[in-house]
Homo-oligomer: A and B are copies of this chain.
Amino acid sequence: MKKCIGVDLGGTTVKLGLFDETGRLLEKWEIPTRTEQGGKNILSDIAEAILDKLKEKSIERSDVAGVGMGIPGSVMPDGHVPVCVNLGWRDMNPEAELGRLLGGITVRSGNDANVAALGEQWQGCGKGCNSIAAVTLGTGVGCGIILNGRIVAGSRGLGGELGHITVNRAETEVCNCGNHGCLEMYSSATGIVRLAKRRLAASGEPSALRKLENITAKDVLDAAKAGDKLAEAVVDESMDWPALGLSYVTHVVDPELFVVGGGVSKAGEYLLDKIRAHYCGYIKLSEKKAEIRLAALGNDAGIYGAARLILED
């Protein structure tokens, strides 16, 4: 049986997975991402890691169906990556380049959030669904849209860039992207902390958070779960915005299922219940609402999705 490799290229580590053709993960390993010197060693490091593994496992190059790769930036349909801030890349075609370094093995690539969404749809909590949107609430807010089992990358690579929809035009602070009031400003880990600090400063309302020096999103979520009223209000506000965002996705492509992952989602069903309650309020045209589930594959979603780029039906 042929094998394939899934690569999840992150700013700190590269995760790799060896899969069989049925999509079974046989082995996974990691290497550091060397971002120095404009990230010029990253692809050769990946090629070396792959070729070493093939040698170790006595897998012939001809027995490899291909290598899929998730990249933390926009990927054009031809594999071109205009810019990849975290890796120091600019105007590259990593797909073509890695293929060359691997002596002609087929390489396919996609944006990392999209690829992770594909992983969840294929082997994660979206298994059996043709269309899902997977939202990651982490340091930022990422999203991938899968329709008919395929990534919707968009004509300018903006497909699923839900973190940067303008949800609050009244916002005065500026987002990393240069806009005001992006979803990411409220619902990422950073956003939750920002909202908490704002609320703490706006009133003298008592809260367990006042005792802490450096508030983290986890502090806010834990305090909210423990019944701290101010923290509860922060979490409720910060989860209202992604609910609004998911309602937009519903009114554009109406996926069967929403998947929520990322560090913030470790707060579990408590968090999801807040999103669900707000989400249902925004959808009046249909009695049936899309399900919202926690992501199932965690950090492995990226390598699964990358493998799926090769193993697509």
A residues contacting B by CB (< 8 A) are: 74, 131, 145, 147, 152-162, 164-166, 169, 177-179, 244, 247-256, 282-286, 288, 290
Q: Is the CB of B256 within 8 A of A252?
A: no
CA distance A171 to B307 in the complex (A): 46
How far apart are A129's CB and chain B's nearest CB, in angstroms? Answer: 8
Q: For A154, give its contact among B152, B157, B253 (CB under 8 Å).
A: B253
How far apart are A160's CB and chain B's nearest CB, in angstroms? Answer: 7
> Which residues of chain B are near A248, meaning CB under 8 Å?
165, 248, 252
Residue of B nearest to A177 (CB): B284
CA distance A286 to B179 in the complex (A): 12
How far apart are A257's CB and chain B's nearest CB, in angstroms? Answer: 8
CA distance A162 to B162 in the complex (A): 16
Q: Is the CB of B177 within 8 A of A285?
A: yes
Residue of B nearest to A132 (CB): B155
Known pairs A155-B131, A165-B247, A290-B155; A178 contacts B284 (CB<8 A): yes
> Which residues of chain B are near A177, meaning CB under 8 Å?
284-285
How far apart are A24's CB and chain B's nearest CB, in angstroms? Answer: 28
Q: Is the CB of B253 within 8 A of A286?
A: no
Q: Is the CB of A165 within 8 A of B251?
A: yes
Q: Is the CB of B290 within 8 A of A253?
A: no
Q: Is the CB of B152 within 8 A of A147?
A: yes
CA distance A143 to B247 in the complex (A): 16
CA distance A20 to B113 in the complex (A): 44
Residue of B nearest to A130 (CB): B155
Q: Is the CB of B256 within 8 A of A158?
A: no
Known pairs A147-B152, A155-B131; A251 contacts B162 (CB<8 A): yes
> Which residues of chain B are near A252, meaning CB under 8 Å?
145, 152, 159-160, 162, 248-249, 252-253
How far apart are A267's CB and chain B's nearest CB, in angstroms? Answer: 24
Known pairs A155-B131, A155-B290; A284 contacts B164 (CB<8 A): yes
> Which residues of chain B are near A157, meaning CB under 8 Å?
254, 286
Q: Is the CB of B255 within 8 A of A166?
A: no
Q: Is the CB of A152 within 8 A of B247?
A: no
Can you give 12 A-B contacts (C-beta < 8 A)? A131-B155, A145-B252, A145-B253, A154-B255, A157-B254, A158-B250, A159-B252, A159-B253, A159-B254, A165-B251, A166-B247, A249-B252
Residue of B nearest to A182 (CB): B284
> Which residues of chain B are near A152, meaning CB under 8 Å?
147, 252-254
> Which residues of chain B are near A169, meaning CB under 8 Å?
244
Q: For A285, give its contact among B131, B153, B164, B288 (CB under 8 Å).
A: B164
Residue of B nearest to A179 (CB): B284
